[in-house]
Homo-oligomer: A and B are copies of this chain.
Amino acid sequence: MRKIECIIKPFKLDEVKAALSGLGLQGMTVTEVKGFGRQKGHTELYRGAEYVVDFLPKVKIDLVVDDDRVDQVVETVVQAAQTGRIGDGKIFVSALEDVIRIRTGEQGSDAV
């Protein structure tokens, strides 16, 4: 089992979700986050003063998948989330030791 964390631009969420559903993925968990990176923040104004907002809204998608699907999923996310402009985001892949479905108590691949 692998956990794939994808940090993407918020307005790409629907496209990514659709692409993943296309792969037959059954679940994901989404978190609103703020990102800081190479992409420059935008300027805001407050009564004649300018200031830069460094943190940009991003969306994090957590996907737990069987090991053999990792490459396919990563590729799909990259395709769906890409705009080619700075700030498109990252994908982090890590190992998972166990997965449990709360409703049934099932474990491992069955639980995903």
Contact = CB atoms under 8 A, between A and B. Distances in A.
Interface of A: 2-3, 6-8, 17, 26-38, 54-55, 58, 60, 62, 64, 74, 77-78, 81-103, 105, 111-112
A73 to B, nearest CB: 11
A60 B102 contact: no
Contacts of A86: 103
A26 B7 contact: no
A101 B88 contact: yes
Contacts of A94: 3, 94-97
Contacts of A33: 29-31, 62
B101 A93 contact: no
